[in-house]
A = this chain, B = another copy of it.
Protein backbone atom coordinates (compact mmCIF):
# COMPACT_ATOMS: atom_id res chain seq x y z
CA UNK A 1 0.00 0.00 0.00
CA UNK A 2 2.88 2.34 0.66
CA UNK A 3 3.83 2.75 -3.00
CA UNK A 4 0.21 3.37 -3.94
CA UNK A 5 -0.11 6.00 -1.23
CA UNK A 6 2.98 7.76 -2.54
CA UNK A 7 1.64 7.63 -6.07
CA UNK A 8 -1.61 9.03 -4.77
CA UNK A 9 0.20 11.88 -3.14
CA UNK A 10 2.06 12.66 -6.34
CA UNK A 11 -1.15 12.66 -8.35
CA UNK A 12 -2.74 14.88 -5.73
CA UNK A 13 0.12 17.33 -6.00
CA UNK A 14 -0.05 17.25 -9.79
CA UNK A 15 -3.78 17.96 -9.73
CA UNK A 16 -3.28 20.76 -7.27
CA UNK A 17 -0.56 22.50 -9.23
CA UNK A 18 -2.40 22.13 -12.51
CA UNK A 19 -5.46 23.82 -11.10
CA UNK A 20 -3.83 26.50 -8.99
CA UNK A 21 -1.16 27.82 -11.27
CA UNK A 22 -1.20 28.13 -15.06
CA UNK A 23 0.96 31.23 -14.60
CA UNK A 24 4.66 30.46 -14.69
CA UNK A 25 6.63 31.35 -11.61
CA UNK A 26 8.19 34.38 -13.28
CA UNK A 27 4.74 35.76 -14.05
CA UNK A 28 3.57 35.06 -10.53
CA UNK A 29 6.50 37.00 -9.22
CA UNK A 30 6.02 39.93 -11.55
CA UNK A 31 2.24 40.16 -11.01
CA UNK A 32 2.72 39.93 -7.28
CA UNK A 33 5.23 42.75 -7.41
CA UNK A 34 2.86 44.82 -9.55
CA UNK A 35 -0.04 44.16 -7.17
CA UNK A 36 2.01 45.07 -4.12
CA UNK A 37 3.21 48.22 -5.85
CA UNK A 38 -0.30 49.26 -6.82
CA UNK A 39 -1.53 48.64 -3.27
CA UNK A 40 1.24 50.72 -1.76
CA UNK A 41 0.92 53.49 -4.31
CA UNK A 42 -2.83 53.67 -3.95
CA UNK A 43 -2.80 53.84 -0.18
CA UNK A 44 -0.09 56.49 -0.32
CA UNK A 45 -1.90 58.88 -2.62
CA UNK A 46 -5.56 57.97 -2.04
CA UNK A 47 -6.34 59.24 -5.52
CA UNK A 48 -9.89 57.90 -5.71
CA UNK A 49 -10.91 59.94 -2.68
CA UNK A 50 -9.50 63.11 -4.22
CA UNK A 51 -11.38 62.52 -7.47
CA UNK A 52 -14.63 61.72 -5.65
CA UNK A 53 -14.29 64.80 -3.46
CA UNK A 54 -14.03 66.93 -6.56
CA UNK A 55 -17.00 65.29 -8.26
CA UNK A 56 -19.27 65.54 -5.23
CA UNK A 57 -18.28 69.06 -4.26
CA UNK A 58 -17.94 70.68 -7.70
CA UNK A 59 -20.82 68.85 -9.39
CA UNK A 60 -22.92 67.13 -6.73
CA UNK A 61 -26.04 65.18 -7.67
CA UNK A 62 -26.32 64.69 -11.45
CA UNK A 63 -29.49 63.14 -12.75
CA UNK A 64 -29.51 62.28 -16.46
CA UNK A 65 -30.54 65.22 -18.58
CA UNK A 66 -29.85 67.81 -15.88
CA UNK A 67 -27.37 70.67 -16.19
CA UNK A 68 -25.37 68.95 -13.40
CA UNK A 69 -25.08 65.79 -15.51
CA UNK A 70 -23.74 67.90 -18.38
CA UNK A 71 -21.27 69.44 -15.97
CA UNK A 72 -20.26 65.98 -14.78
CA UNK A 73 -19.53 64.93 -18.36
CA UNK A 74 -17.24 67.90 -18.87
CA UNK A 75 -15.63 67.26 -15.50
CA UNK A 76 -14.98 63.62 -16.42
CA UNK A 77 -13.37 64.53 -19.71
CA UNK A 78 -11.20 67.16 -18.03
CA UNK A 79 -10.03 64.85 -15.25
CA UNK A 80 -9.09 62.04 -17.64
CA UNK A 81 -7.33 64.52 -19.89
CA UNK A 82 -5.33 66.02 -17.06
CA UNK A 83 -4.27 62.55 -15.99
CA UNK A 84 -2.82 61.94 -19.40
CA UNK A 85 -5.16 59.14 -20.44
CA UNK A 86 -5.19 58.46 -24.19
CA UNK A 87 -8.07 58.94 -26.63
CA UNK A 88 -10.12 60.87 -24.10
CA UNK A 89 -13.45 61.55 -25.73
CA UNK A 90 -17.21 61.68 -25.30
CA UNK A 91 -19.59 59.20 -26.89
CA UNK A 92 -22.93 60.98 -27.31
CA UNK A 93 -26.11 59.35 -26.15
CA UNK A 94 -29.71 60.59 -25.84
CA UNK A 95 -31.04 60.34 -22.30
CA UNK A 96 -34.40 60.93 -20.61
CA UNK A 97 -34.88 64.18 -18.74
CA UNK A 98 -37.18 63.86 -15.78
CA UNK A 99 -37.31 66.64 -13.22
CA UNK A 100 -38.61 66.46 -9.69
CA UNK A 101 -40.04 69.98 -9.64
CA UNK A 102 -40.48 72.24 -6.62
CA UNK A 103 -43.57 70.70 -5.01
CA UNK A 104 -43.24 67.44 -3.12
CA UNK A 105 -45.60 67.12 -0.23
CA UNK A 106 -47.54 64.40 1.50
CA UNK A 107 -49.79 64.76 4.52
CA UNK A 108 -51.72 62.40 6.65
CA UNK A 109 -55.16 63.97 7.08
CA UNK A 110 -56.86 61.82 9.62
CA UNK A 111 -57.82 59.81 11.51
CA UNK A 112 -58.81 62.00 14.45
CA UNK A 113 -57.80 65.34 12.96
CA UNK A 114 -54.21 64.26 12.45
CA UNK A 115 -52.41 66.57 10.05
CA UNK A 116 -48.92 65.24 9.74
CA UNK A 117 -46.26 65.86 7.14
CA UNK A 118 -44.65 62.76 5.75
CA UNK A 119 -41.10 62.50 4.44
CA UNK A 120 -41.49 61.53 0.84
CA UNK A 121 -39.93 61.97 -2.55
CA UNK A 122 -41.33 61.30 -5.99
CA UNK A 123 -40.09 58.15 -7.65
CA UNK A 124 -38.07 58.81 -10.75
CA UNK A 125 -40.38 58.89 -13.74
CA UNK A 126 -43.56 59.66 -11.82
CA UNK A 127 -46.11 62.03 -13.26
CA UNK A 128 -47.23 65.03 -11.24
CA UNK A 129 -50.45 65.21 -9.29
CA UNK A 130 -52.98 67.93 -10.10
CA UNK A 131 -51.90 71.18 -8.36
CA UNK A 132 -54.31 70.55 -5.50
CA UNK A 133 -52.89 67.07 -5.01
CA UNK A 134 -54.49 63.66 -4.91
CA UNK A 135 -56.37 62.86 -1.74
CA UNK A 136 -57.55 59.41 -0.83
CA UNK A 137 -57.91 56.76 1.79
CA UNK A 138 -54.80 54.69 2.28
CA UNK A 139 -54.90 50.97 1.71
CA UNK A 140 -51.84 48.95 2.64
CA UNK A 141 -50.52 45.87 0.86
CA UNK A 142 -47.35 43.85 1.03
CA UNK A 143 -47.53 42.26 -2.41
CA UNK A 144 -49.13 42.51 -5.82
CA UNK A 145 -51.02 39.27 -5.12
CA UNK A 146 -52.54 40.82 -2.03
CA UNK A 147 -53.41 43.93 -4.03
CA UNK A 148 -55.13 41.94 -6.76
CA UNK A 149 -57.05 39.97 -4.18
CA UNK A 150 -58.54 43.22 -2.90
CA UNK A 151 -60.66 43.52 -6.04
CA UNK A 152 -62.72 46.67 -6.11
CA UNK A 153 -61.88 47.78 -2.61
CA UNK A 154 -58.70 49.54 -3.79
CA UNK A 155 -60.67 51.71 -6.20
CA UNK A 156 -60.18 55.45 -5.63
CA UNK A 157 -57.64 54.76 -2.91
CA UNK A 158 -53.99 55.50 -2.40
CA UNK A 159 -52.18 52.19 -2.42
CA UNK A 160 -49.40 51.90 0.15
CA UNK A 161 -46.81 49.22 -0.64
CA UNK A 162 -45.17 48.30 2.64
CA UNK A 163 -43.24 45.07 2.20
CA UNK A 164 -40.02 45.89 4.05
CA UNK A 165 -36.41 45.49 3.08
CA UNK A 166 -35.59 42.13 4.65
CA UNK A 167 -32.96 42.90 7.28
CA UNK A 168 -32.48 39.22 8.02
CA UNK A 169 -30.61 38.66 4.79
CA UNK A 170 -26.83 38.95 5.06
CA UNK A 171 -26.66 40.03 1.44
CA UNK A 172 -28.30 43.44 1.36
CA UNK A 173 -28.64 43.35 -2.42
CA UNK A 174 -30.86 40.32 -2.00
CA UNK A 175 -32.95 42.24 0.53
CA UNK A 176 -33.20 45.11 -1.92
CA UNK A 177 -34.10 42.74 -4.73
CA UNK A 178 -36.88 41.34 -2.58
CA UNK A 179 -38.55 44.72 -2.20
CA UNK A 180 -37.79 46.72 -5.32
CA UNK A 181 -40.66 45.39 -7.46
CA UNK A 182 -42.94 47.59 -5.36
CA UNK A 183 -41.05 50.65 -6.52
CA UNK A 184 -40.71 49.67 -10.16
CA UNK A 185 -44.20 48.30 -10.79
CA UNK A 186 -46.23 49.62 -7.86
CA UNK A 187 -47.89 52.48 -9.73
CA UNK A 188 -48.93 50.23 -12.61
CA UNK A 189 -50.31 47.52 -10.35
CA UNK A 190 -52.12 50.07 -8.20
CA UNK A 191 -53.66 51.75 -11.23
CA UNK A 192 -54.85 48.39 -12.55
CA UNK A 193 -57.13 48.00 -9.52
CA UNK A 194 -58.28 51.62 -9.66
CA UNK A 195 -55.84 53.20 -7.23
CA UNK A 196 -55.33 56.96 -7.61
CA UNK A 197 -51.74 57.09 -6.37
CA UNK A 198 -49.09 54.73 -5.02
CA UNK A 199 -46.76 55.29 -2.14
CA UNK A 200 -43.93 52.88 -1.51
CA UNK A 201 -41.91 52.13 1.60
CA UNK A 202 -38.30 53.19 1.00
CA UNK A 203 -35.94 50.33 0.17
CA UNK A 204 -33.55 51.08 3.01
CA UNK A 205 -31.66 49.22 5.71
CA UNK A 206 -32.37 52.03 8.16
CA UNK A 207 -35.45 53.06 10.03
CA UNK A 208 -35.37 56.84 9.71
CA UNK A 209 -37.06 59.81 8.09
CA UNK A 210 -35.04 59.76 4.87
CA UNK A 211 -37.00 58.79 1.76
CA UNK A 212 -35.14 56.86 -0.97
CA UNK A 213 -36.02 57.46 -4.59
CA UNK A 214 -35.38 55.21 -7.58
CA UNK A 215 -36.77 54.34 -10.97
CA UNK A 216 -40.35 53.32 -11.66
CA UNK A 217 -41.95 52.38 -14.96
CA UNK A 218 -45.34 52.98 -16.51
CA UNK A 219 -46.84 50.84 -19.25
CA UNK A 220 -48.81 52.37 -22.09
CA UNK A 221 -51.90 50.26 -21.52
CA UNK A 222 -52.44 51.32 -17.91
CA UNK A 223 -53.47 54.74 -16.54
CA UNK A 224 -50.53 56.64 -15.15
CA UNK A 225 -50.88 57.57 -11.51
CA UNK A 226 -48.40 59.55 -9.38
CA UNK A 227 -46.07 57.66 -7.09
CA UNK A 228 -43.62 58.48 -4.31
CA UNK A 229 -41.36 56.81 -1.77
CA UNK A 230 -42.08 57.36 1.91
CA UNK A 231 -39.45 57.11 4.64
CA UNK A 232 -39.30 53.85 6.58
CA UNK A 233 -40.29 55.55 9.82
CA UNK A 234 -43.29 57.22 8.22
CA UNK A 235 -44.22 53.88 6.68
CA UNK A 236 -44.24 52.36 10.15
CA UNK A 237 -46.42 55.19 11.44
CA UNK A 238 -48.99 54.73 8.66
CA UNK A 239 -48.91 50.99 9.29
CA UNK A 240 -49.62 51.49 13.01
CA UNK A 241 -52.53 53.80 12.29
CA UNK A 242 -54.01 51.29 9.87
CA UNK A 243 -53.41 48.46 12.31
CA UNK A 244 -55.58 50.27 14.83
CA UNK A 245 -58.42 49.88 12.34
CA UNK A 246 -58.84 53.56 11.65
CA UNK A 247 -59.35 55.16 8.28
CA UNK A 248 -56.16 56.88 7.18
CA UNK A 249 -56.43 59.73 4.68
CA UNK A 250 -53.48 61.03 2.72
CA UNK A 251 -52.92 63.95 0.36
CA UNK A 252 -50.06 63.73 -2.11
CA UNK A 253 -48.76 66.65 -4.15
CA UNK A 254 -46.02 66.22 -6.74
CA UNK A 255 -44.90 68.58 -9.48
CA UNK A 256 -42.50 66.33 -11.40
CA UNK A 257 -42.27 66.39 -15.15
CA UNK A 258 -40.89 64.37 -18.03
CA UNK A 259 -39.15 66.77 -20.45
CA UNK A 260 -37.89 65.95 -23.94
CA UNK A 261 -34.81 63.72 -24.16
CA UNK A 262 -31.45 65.45 -24.01
CA UNK A 263 -28.12 64.68 -25.61
CA UNK A 264 -25.55 63.59 -23.06
CA UNK A 265 -22.51 61.31 -23.25
CA UNK A 266 -20.43 58.46 -21.91
CA UNK A 267 -16.97 59.68 -20.99
CA UNK A 268 -14.13 57.52 -22.25
CA UNK A 269 -10.36 57.47 -21.74
CA UNK A 270 -7.73 54.78 -22.27
CA UNK A 271 -4.36 53.34 -21.66
CA UNK A 272 -3.69 51.92 -25.09
CA UNK A 273 -2.25 48.41 -25.13
CA UNK A 274 1.34 48.06 -26.24
CA UNK A 275 0.95 44.67 -27.95
CA UNK A 276 -2.72 44.13 -28.69
CA UNK A 277 -4.24 47.62 -28.66
CA UNK A 278 -7.35 46.25 -30.39
CA UNK A 279 -8.19 44.01 -27.43
CA UNK A 280 -10.07 46.08 -24.88
CA UNK A 281 -10.86 45.72 -21.20
CA UNK A 282 -13.61 48.10 -20.10
CA UNK A 283 -13.47 49.42 -16.53
CA UNK A 284 -16.43 51.54 -15.52
CA UNK A 285 -19.02 52.96 -13.23
CA UNK A 286 -21.90 55.29 -13.94
CA UNK A 287 -21.59 59.04 -13.95
CA UNK A 288 -25.24 59.92 -13.52
CA UNK A 289 -26.88 59.72 -10.11
CA UNK A 290 -30.24 60.41 -8.62
CA UNK A 291 -30.99 64.03 -7.74
CA UNK A 292 -30.65 63.31 -4.01
CA UNK A 293 -27.54 63.68 -1.85
CA UNK A 294 -24.38 63.78 -3.93
CA UNK A 295 -24.37 60.38 -5.61
CA UNK A 296 -21.24 59.65 -3.63
CA UNK A 297 -21.47 55.88 -3.19
CA UNK A 298 -23.90 55.50 -6.12
CA UNK A 299 -21.89 55.75 -8.23
CA UNK A 300 -19.42 58.56 -7.85
CA UNK A 301 -17.34 55.95 -6.08
CA UNK A 302 -17.31 53.72 -9.16
CA UNK A 303 -16.31 56.59 -11.44
CA UNK A 304 -13.53 57.69 -9.10
CA UNK A 305 -12.29 54.10 -8.79
CA UNK A 306 -12.33 53.51 -12.54
CA UNK A 307 -10.28 56.64 -13.14
CA UNK A 308 -7.94 55.80 -10.27
CA UNK A 309 -7.45 52.24 -11.53
CA UNK A 310 -5.91 53.60 -14.73
CA UNK A 311 -4.03 56.40 -13.00
CA UNK A 312 -2.36 53.90 -10.70
CA UNK A 313 -1.04 51.92 -13.66
CA UNK A 314 0.31 55.11 -15.20
CA UNK A 315 1.91 56.15 -11.94
CA UNK A 316 3.55 52.75 -11.61
CA UNK A 317 4.61 52.89 -15.27
CA UNK A 318 2.93 49.53 -15.80
CA UNK A 319 2.30 49.34 -19.53
CA UNK A 320 -0.69 47.12 -20.34
CA UNK A 321 -0.28 44.84 -23.36
CA UNK A 322 -3.97 45.21 -24.15
CA UNK A 323 -6.02 48.39 -23.95
CA UNK A 324 -7.66 49.31 -20.66
CA UNK A 325 -10.53 51.72 -21.19
CA UNK A 326 -12.25 53.66 -18.45
CA UNK A 327 -15.89 54.40 -19.23
CA UNK A 328 -18.06 56.70 -17.14
CA UNK A 329 -21.48 55.55 -18.28
CA UNK A 330 -24.40 57.95 -18.48
CA UNK A 331 -27.96 57.17 -17.42
CA UNK A 332 -27.69 53.95 -15.45
CA UNK A 333 -30.34 55.07 -13.00
CA UNK A 334 -33.27 55.68 -15.26
CA UNK A 335 -32.80 54.16 -18.67
CA UNK A 336 -29.37 52.58 -19.13
CA UNK A 337 -29.03 54.56 -22.34
CA UNK A 338 -25.26 54.90 -21.86
CA UNK A 339 -24.65 51.20 -21.31
CA UNK A 340 -26.82 50.26 -24.28
CA UNK A 341 -25.23 52.84 -26.56
CA UNK A 342 -21.74 51.78 -25.57
CA UNK A 343 -22.45 48.15 -26.46
CA UNK A 344 -24.33 49.03 -29.67
CA UNK A 345 -21.64 51.33 -31.07
CA UNK A 346 -19.72 49.94 -33.99
CA UNK A 347 -16.02 49.77 -33.17
CA UNK A 348 -14.29 48.42 -36.28
CA UNK A 349 -11.32 46.16 -35.65
CA UNK A 350 -11.86 46.17 -31.93
CA UNK A 351 -12.15 43.07 -29.78
CA UNK A 352 -13.67 43.62 -26.35
CA UNK A 353 -12.35 40.95 -24.02
CA UNK A 354 -13.85 41.79 -20.63
CA UNK A 355 -15.80 44.48 -18.81
CA UNK A 356 -15.50 45.31 -15.12
CA UNK A 357 -18.01 47.46 -13.27
CA UNK A 358 -18.02 48.89 -9.78
CA UNK A 359 -21.46 50.05 -8.72
CA UNK A 360 -22.04 48.70 -5.23
CA UNK A 361 -20.60 51.60 -3.24
CA UNK A 362 -17.10 52.60 -2.22
CA UNK A 363 -16.75 50.00 0.53
CA UNK A 364 -13.97 47.56 1.36
CA UNK A 365 -13.62 45.14 -1.55
CA UNK A 366 -13.98 41.43 -0.95
CA UNK A 367 -13.48 40.04 -4.42
CA UNK A 368 -15.10 39.80 -7.80
CA UNK A 369 -18.17 38.23 -9.31
CA UNK A 370 -17.48 36.87 -12.76
CA UNK A 371 -20.08 36.05 -15.37
CA UNK A 372 -18.27 34.13 -18.08
CA UNK A 373 -17.84 30.60 -19.38
CA UNK A 374 -16.09 28.15 -17.09
CA UNK A 375 -12.72 28.41 -18.77
CA UNK A 376 -12.60 32.19 -18.41
CA UNK A 377 -13.99 32.06 -14.89
CA UNK A 378 -11.38 29.55 -13.80
CA UNK A 379 -8.60 31.53 -15.39
CA UNK A 380 -9.60 34.66 -13.48
CA UNK A 381 -10.25 32.72 -10.28
CA UNK A 382 -6.65 31.50 -10.38
CA UNK A 383 -5.48 35.09 -9.96
CA UNK A 384 -7.00 35.23 -6.49
CA UNK A 385 -3.53 35.20 -4.92
CA UNK A 386 -3.05 38.77 -6.17
CA UNK A 387 -5.86 39.95 -3.91
CA UNK A 388 -5.05 37.90 -0.81
CA UNK A 389 -2.97 40.62 0.79
CA UNK A 390 -6.01 42.86 0.86
CA UNK A 391 -8.52 40.16 1.80
CA UNK A 392 -10.32 40.66 -1.51
CA UNK A 393 -9.69 37.29 -3.07
CA UNK A 394 -13.18 35.88 -3.19
CA UNK A 395 -13.72 35.32 -6.87
CA UNK A 396 -17.15 33.82 -7.39
CA UNK A 397 -19.43 32.97 -10.30
CA UNK A 398 -22.06 35.50 -11.32
CA UNK A 399 -22.06 39.23 -11.04
CA UNK A 400 -21.28 42.26 -13.13
CA UNK A 401 -23.07 45.57 -13.39
CA UNK A 402 -26.03 47.16 -15.14
CA UNK A 403 -23.96 49.34 -17.47
CA UNK A 404 -21.93 46.44 -18.79
CA UNK A 405 -24.84 44.02 -19.00
CA UNK A 406 -25.49 44.94 -22.67
CA UNK A 407 -21.88 43.90 -23.36
CA UNK A 408 -22.43 40.66 -21.49
CA UNK A 409 -25.43 39.96 -23.68
CA UNK A 410 -23.01 40.03 -26.59
CA UNK A 411 -20.99 37.30 -24.90
CA UNK A 412 -18.29 39.41 -23.34
CA UNK A 413 -17.12 38.28 -19.90
CA UNK A 414 -18.59 40.60 -17.28
CA UNK A 415 -17.06 41.20 -13.87
CA UNK A 416 -18.37 43.13 -10.89
CA UNK A 417 -16.37 44.32 -7.90
CA UNK A 418 -17.82 42.75 -4.76
CA UNK A 419 -17.67 44.90 -1.64
CA UNK A 420 -18.79 44.87 1.95
CA UNK A 421 -22.41 45.70 1.31
CA UNK A 422 -23.77 46.20 4.82
CA UNK A 423 -24.05 50.00 4.70
CA UNK A 424 -24.98 50.56 1.07
CA UNK A 425 -28.74 50.73 1.50
CA UNK A 426 -28.43 53.14 4.40
CA UNK A 427 -27.53 55.75 1.79
CA UNK A 428 -28.68 54.51 -1.62
CA UNK A 429 -30.75 56.96 -3.71
CA UNK A 430 -31.25 59.37 -0.85
CA UNK A 431 -30.06 62.61 0.69
CA UNK A 432 -27.76 60.48 2.85
CA UNK A 433 -25.55 59.49 -0.10
CA UNK A 434 -22.92 62.14 0.50
CA UNK A 435 -19.13 62.29 0.40
CA UNK A 436 -18.75 62.17 4.19
CA UNK A 437 -20.17 58.63 4.14
CA UNK A 438 -17.19 57.40 2.11
CA UNK A 439 -14.05 56.19 3.82
CA UNK A 440 -10.83 57.10 2.06
CA UNK A 441 -9.11 53.74 2.56
CA UNK A 442 -12.13 51.61 1.71
CA UNK A 443 -12.70 53.54 -1.51
CA UNK A 444 -9.07 53.33 -2.54
CA UNK A 445 -8.87 49.60 -1.90
CA UNK A 446 -11.64 49.10 -4.45
CA UNK A 447 -9.71 51.12 -7.02
CA UNK A 448 -6.60 49.11 -6.25
CA UNK A 449 -8.42 45.80 -6.73
CA UNK A 450 -9.77 46.93 -10.10
CA UNK A 451 -6.40 48.24 -11.15
CA UNK A 452 -4.73 44.92 -10.38
CA UNK A 453 -7.42 42.88 -12.13
CA UNK A 454 -7.56 45.04 -15.24
CA UNK A 455 -3.78 44.99 -15.52
CA UNK A 456 -3.65 41.21 -15.20
CA UNK A 457 -6.39 40.87 -17.81
CA UNK A 458 -4.47 43.22 -20.07
CA UNK A 459 -1.31 41.16 -19.76
CA UNK A 460 -2.81 37.69 -19.92
CA UNK A 461 -5.80 38.18 -22.17
CA UNK A 462 -8.80 35.88 -22.09
Contact = CB atoms under 8 A, between A and B. Distances in A.
A5 interface: yes
Nearest to A175: B43
A150 interface: no
B426 A439 contact: yes
Interface stretch (A7-15, A116-124, A185-193, A329-337): A7-15
Interface string A93-131: 000000000000000000000000000000000000000
Main secondary structure of the interface of A (DSSP, over half): helix
Contacts of A420: 364, 420
A441 interface: yes
A40 B442 CA distance: 27
A423 B364 CA distance: 10
Nearest to A4: B7
Contacts of A148: none
A46 interface: yes
A445 interface: yes
Interface stretch (A152-160, A343-351, A387-395): A387-395
A14 to B, nearest CB: 10
B46 A167 contact: yes
A168 interface: yes
- Copies of this polypeptide in the complex: 2
Interface in A162-203: 167-170, 172
A39 interface: yes
Nearest to A5: B11
A170 B39 contact: yes
A135 interface: no
Contact of A445 (B11, B390, B422, B441): B422
A284 B257 CA distance: 56
B364 A422 contact: yes
Interface string A306-335: 000000000000000000000000000000
A410 B394 CA distance: 37
Contacts of A394: 391
Interface in A62-94: none
Nearest to A420: B364
A44 interface: yes
A176 to B, nearest CB: 13
Interface string A366-410: 100000000000000000000001110010000000000000000
A389 B441 contact: no
Contacts of A439: 422-423, 426
Interface in A410-462: 420, 422-423, 426, 439-442, 445
B40 A168 contact: yes
A205 interface: yes
Interface of A: 4-5, 7-8, 11-12, 15, 39-40, 43-44, 46, 167-170, 172, 205-206, 364, 366, 389-391, 394, 420, 422-423, 426, 439-442, 445
The 9 closest A-B pairs by CB, nearest first: A8-B11, A43-B168, A422-B441, A8-B8, A40-B168, A170-B390, A422-B442, A43-B167, A364-B420
22 contacts: A4-B7, A7-B8, A8-B12, A11-B12, A39-B168, A39-B170, A43-B168, A43-B170, A44-B167, A44-B168, A167-B441, A170-B390, A170-B391, A170-B445, A205-B440, A206-B440, A364-B420, A420-B420, A423-B439, A423-B441, A423-B442, A426-B439
